[in-house]
A and B are shown apart, each in its own frame.
Chain A
Amino acid sequence: METWTPNPRAKPFIPRQQRSLYLTWKYKLTNKRTIRRFCQAGAMLFLLITVIVNIKLILDTRRVADEDAAAQEHEDPIPNMETPRKPANGRKVLDIEVYSSRSKVYVAVDGTTVLEDDMREQGRGIHVIVLNQATGHVMAKRIFDTYSPHEDDAMILFLNMVTRGRVLIFTIKDEGTFHLKDAAKNLLKSLGSQVSLNLNWRDMWTLVVKKGGQVYGEKHTKSPALSTWGDPVLLKTEVQLTASEEAECHWPDNELNRRRKLFCSKVEGYGSICGCKDPATIEFNPDPLPNNNVFNVPVAVIAGNRPNYLYRMLRSLLSAHGVNPQMITVFIDGYYEEPMDVVELFGLKGVQHTPISIKNARVSQHYKASLTATFNLHPEANFAIVIEEDLDISIDFFSFLSQTLHLLEEDDSLYCISAWNDQGYEHTAEDPALLYRVESMPGLGWVLKKSLYKDELEPKWPTPEKLWDWDMWMRMPEQRKGRECVIPDVSRSYHFGIIGLNMNGYFHEVYFKKHKFNTVPNVQLTNVDSLKQDAYEVEIQNLFKEAEVLDHTKNPCEDSFLPDSEGKTYVMFIKMETETDTSTWTELAKCLHVWDLDVRGYHRGLWRLFRKRNHVLVVAAPISPYSFTVGDVTERKT
């Protein structure tokens, strides 16, 4: 091919571009070198893709791993705190130690101390512990101060409510027999006690029995003389555990009974709620109220460690017409289990509060925390209803509040609506439809306005080191600022608490037991708007116009001080020179058997109450502005 001769038969020259693709490829492929090149390029391409895919894979895997890590991030760092329960089938026998002495009692079950009380001047009386006969768990712990009156009745009530078959442990600290009457002693005897009838002043005593069954042990030492105590007693005994099936009831399986079952497996002393046959209901479904203005008002229940009180209170609260259980929150002062069990039994919300400070200040701090939390939990609420755990709630409690709530909004001279009339005793209260204005805040079931709490009370609430009663503080002029509360003549709450910080059996008997409590449903309150500041003065003037002045020559303490009429209005005057001159009122209050410990329940030096079914206006002269107006009236009449 050194020389080139054109070939005439050669194909005409076709430009490369015009060559068909097929031919191009054919040509290329026939060239070995090209093939090799091509393969090399292909391999390179493959390698490149591999590398890219690898990188992508690594990235994606990392992303997925990140997601896993993110999921991990969502994890709760707190480990599961629940400790595994000890297998219950391990032992069938419980070792029980019970100690009774003047200054100390303790109970140990299988070496675990379940009760120890060696505090001075506390825990006097009979301590009772109830154990579950199948598990040995403590189901109830109670102290009955049977040195004081009526506590033995409470003990009888409690013991009767304990389910048959439970293990009961009794021990006395200091003194437990002074007011232990025969009824209680006989009950103890019927439980199996050998010595209960002979229990005497300052004897020491311990007893372990199964209710309705065998006696596991009893020990008793007599007090040698009035001024000395019996020797300390230590009782050691064994209790045979029974099979768990025997200790349980078989209720139909539903939401309510699941709550019931949980409750009844933990605690004792609530009677028929845990009965196997026809147990008491825990769902009440009271009638709703038409036009309920308080349906969305939060209800704060202030509670301590008095679970049986709380139980009674919640039953009455949940039975009141127009109640909205969604809005109820129970605030428990301390991390006590049993009150929480009660709250959960009724399916309500419970909040526990770490106690701050002591005595009155502790109560006061608990109130503050509870009120703050109530308004935090319900930011949309303008009011809160505050109820203590030792109150019965009237069936028309919410109806009463629903009819009066607007007063708080419309009248700035009011700062609370309370369900409680300090002077409303059986013999001094009459008309469930009647309302008063009073200058002293009664509490005991009341409505608090959010703005009052947030703007005035909360910022300056007494600090923990101030041992003040919150209610006394609220009544102080700096807080009250001349404002008043609306109360009913017949109270819508009933104070049943006997044990409490400022409470004992005697005190309760004198001041609270005879308090009138409304049991009539759907009371239509009369002329609610006349409770507004100006209208109320008109109302009172009208009362005075029709009132007759009583004969002041007679003894006001005598029943004959009032004529034997019915439904009339009378006026009487008492001497009161200054705000602090309260001796005349106190004397009158004493003989009328109304609240006499301080001056309560008045409106501008005027008390309104009923005597012998007549409305009596007690005017403090000359301090009350009504003493003059009435003076004119009196003159005209005489």
Chain B
Amino acid sequence: MPRVNRTTVLTLLIITSSVFLLFQLHYYRKYVSKQGPYILSRTGHLTANDIQWVSQLKKFLGLARHFGLPLFLADTAALTLLSQDSLRQRDRLVHEPHCSFLCTGRPVTSFALHANLWKYEPGFLLAAKQKGFELLELRGQDPRLASLDNLSGEEIPLHFLFRLHGHIIQVVFLYERSGNYLWHGELRLKAHVDRSFAPFKLLDYGRHPGSYDRPELVLTVVDGIDVRIPRNISRFLSEQRQARFLECRYRDARNFLQLYPDDVSPDAVDFRRKVKSLLHLAGRTLAQLDIPFWLSSGTCLGWFRQCSVISYSRDVDIGIFIGDFRSDIVSAFRSAGLSLKHKFGKVEDSLELSFLSEDVKLDIFFFYGDGDVVWNGGTQAKSGKKFKYIFPRFSLCWAELLDLKVRVPCETLDYVTANYGASWSVPVRSWDWKSSPSNVQRNGEWPRAEWAELIQVY
């Protein structure tokens, strides 16, 4: 009876698969949705959870205010909603109660705090505990002590996580650094810390250290709660997306300087001073044009290898993606007091600008993408020969050099190794830009007819 068999088999299959399916659904709900209990958010009507959550936040911010801690809202999800809905917010002010912004559907809300306003205040933490908040305090090394001197102080608070009813309030400590920017630390769990305290992956802050310009804050009412927010939300959010900060590798730099002590002759001291002022000037000028740049070549190597400037390098090298090129760069630098020394190539190919300030040269190399590599060009003025320097693709991070917040390739080691080979850690004083770099390639010649246009030397 094959037919009967087939039906039975089918029926059995259906039953088992339904049972299996039901089990899986049950399991799925139980395991996966544990992370996000706020599925029903932003639907207009409030859930009981939302109301509870808003009152908790109110309580928490009230405590912070009472203890004189001016927290500001730094939550990316909430700020995104705020920046989109800034008009609708006004209308909503009349309705009570509501939770349009702070109930983001995420179990985490982040606030930031200027650390110099934090005085170790057991009262605040105690009061928070009394209100039912559980606290996870994450501390770490003080980066302001990290320098070529070997200093160690007590650990400073980096992140506070307050938990109530499965919801996390993250307080990020922003420290003022000497390059006139704010810094927050990486969130690292020590061995004895409860790993299930919070969904750490969902935190906006702490995966990497980050750096920010000091945001201007305004006091506003969000969902019926008084809270400070950055005045320019979209700027803050775009900073947040690319805030990753790299600390200079001071330990390695110290070792390097043990082997090759720094030149402290008056000339070298003077050169470093000039480089510092030139770099600050370049930073200011390009910031006005809103052009991101990074340290390249020798200047990048100096930062990476010795957290300083290579005193015999005689110039400052920075890189800019050609997509960010603006035709008013030259005039901006000129009005900043620099003179154009030469201009090689064109926007489509191998563009390179050189400016002069006192006797220090600022080389601006423009980088072109090509598949999985990026490259910049070089031109020999007298022969019209073209060269090409090839780097693996990289992203940009913030770093500090000479009291200035600057970008460097996040994959600095790859970048430096591409440029200087595996022996980048050995100083080379005689350097030929056409042959010494390990990533240099011949790239033909400029047609002689176009020399006047493409090789401009002043």
Complex interface residues of chain B between 15 and 68 (CB less than 8 A to chain A)? 17-18, 20-21, 24-25, 27-28, 31-32, 35
A-B contact pairs, 18 of them (CB 8 A): A39-B11, A43-B13, A43-B17, A46-B17, A47-B17, A67-B199, A67-B200, A76-B188, A76-B189, A331-B151, A356-B149, A356-B150, A372-B149, A376-B144, A377-B142, A379-B144, A379-B180, A463-B261
Asked if residues B201 and A368 are in contact (CB atoms below 8 Å), the reply is: no
Asked if residues A53 and B273 are in contact (CB atoms below 8 Å), the reply is: no
Q: In the complex, what distance in Å separates the CA atom of A372 from the CA atom of B31?
A: 52
**Of A60, A79, A80, which contacts B32 at CB under 8 A?**
A60
Minimal Cβ-Cβ distance residue in B for A369: B149
Asked if residues B266 and A57 are in contact (CB atoms below 8 Å), the reply is: no
Known A-B contacts A349-B154, A380-B176, A463-B264; A373 and B145 likewise in contact (beta carbons under 8 Å) = yes
Known A-B contacts A53-B24, A74-B200; A376 and B17 likewise in contact (beta carbons under 8 Å) = no
**Binding site of A, secondary structure by majority: helix, strand, loop or mixed?**
helix
Residues of A within 8 A of B264 (CB): 460, 463
Asked if residues B153 and A379 are in contact (CB atoms below 8 Å), the reply is: no
Q: In the complex, what distance in Å separates the CA atom of A50 from the CA atom of B21?
A: 6
Which one of B86-94, B190-198, B327-335 is at the A interface? B190-198
Q: 4 other contacts beyond A43-B10, A70-B200, with CB at 8 A cut-off?
A: A76-B189, A351-B151, A379-B176, A455-B273
Residues of A within 8 A of B190 (CB): 75-76, 80
- A61 at the A/B interface (Cβ < 8 Å)? yes
Interface size class of B (residues with CB under 8 A): 35 or more
Asked if residues A79 and B191 are in contact (CB atoms below 8 Å), the reply is: yes
Least CB distance, B216 to chain A, in whole angstroms: 16
Residues of B within 8 A of A61 (CB): 31-32
**Of B145, B152, B189, which contacts A376 at CB under 8 A?**
B145
Complex interface residues of chain A between 66 and 80 (CB less than 8 A to chain B)? 66-68, 70-76, 79-80
The list of the 6 closest CB pairs from A to B, nearest first, reads A369-B149, A354-B150, A351-B153, A70-B201, A67-B201, A379-B178
- B119 at the A/B interface (Cβ < 8 Å)? yes
Q: In the complex, what distance in Å separates the CA atom of A57 from the CA atom of B33?
A: 12
Indicate the member of B149, B188, B261 with the most A CB atoms within 10 Å: B149
| B-binding residues in A (CB < 8 A) | 36, 39-40, 42-43, 46-47, 49-50, 53-54, 56-57, 60-61, 63-64, 66-68, 70-76, 79-80, 255, 326, 329, 331, 349-354, 356, 365, 368-369, 372-373, 375-377, 379-380, 454-455, 459-460, 463
- B14 at the A/B interface (Cβ < 8 Å)? yes
Residues of B within 8 A of A326 (CB): 119
Asked if residues A352 and B153 are in contact (CB atoms below 8 Å), the reply is: yes
Asked if residues B25 and A53 are in contact (CB atoms below 8 Å), the reply is: yes
Asked if residues A80 and B191 are in contact (CB atoms below 8 Å), the reply is: yes
Tell me the total A-B contact number using a CB cutoff of 8 A. Answer: 140
- B269 at the A/B interface (Cβ < 8 Å)? yes
Asked if residues B14 and A42 are in contact (CB atoms below 8 Å), the reply is: yes
Residues of B within 8 A of A353 (CB): 149-151
Residues of B within 8 A of A329 (CB): 153
**Of B177, B189, B266, B269, which contacts A71 at CB under 8 A?**
B189
- B272 at the A/B interface (Cβ < 8 Å)? yes
Minimal Cβ-Cβ distance residue in B for A39: B10
Asked if residues A376 and B147 are in contact (CB atoms below 8 Å), the reply is: yes
Q: In the complex, what distance in Å separates the CA atom of A71 from the CA atom of B20?
A: 31
Least CB distance, B397 to chain A, in whole angstroms: 17
**Of A255, A354, A369, A373, which contacts B122 at CB under 8 A?**
A255
- B369 at the A/B interface (Cβ < 8 Å)? no
Minimal Cβ-Cβ distance residue in B for A59: B32
